[in-house]
Amino acid sequence: MGIDFNADEVFEIAVQIERNGAKFYRNCAENVTDASKKQLLIDLAEMEDEHEETFKSLRKELSIDEKIQTTFDPNGEAERYLRALADTRVFYEKDVDTSSIKEILKAAITAEKDSIVFYLGMKGVVPAHLGKDKLDDIIKEEMGHISLLSKELLEL
């Protein structure tokens, strides 16, 4: 028997992934001496903050059906599983050469790709009546991140 997740649970994890991303960019910015590159990283952190707010807003707009817990889980194991997955696969603590803006951007692109893979996988366990289509909004936002990061990397 599998576990069905709902869009509400996935949006909750999306918020955590955005927090992790903002923290990643801010930590990297602390180690960058070039003022324009430092500002780029701060701007990226602020974008993650904005996306966190976007996902919170989208979460509030979910219908009651899209928030229904479908599995008896009094200990919150499903949420802990999703959180652990998000914290260990997307914007997790990793060795990044923070003296190189190229390496920082490459790591960020990888993290954004990982987040898209995560959300695509979640689409497979969120039934349509529990908000599966809402995950496309998250994926579209993350694809925008990759586009921006790739453009910045190419300009270097």
Q: Residues 106-116: pLDDT tens digits? A: 998 998 898 88
Does the reported pTM lie above 0.85?
no
Which has more confidence, 67 or 52?
A: 52
Domains of the chain: 7-67+77-155 (1.20.1260.10)
Which residues contact residue 114 at a Cβ distance below 8 angstroms, ignoring those fewer than 6 apart? 89, 90
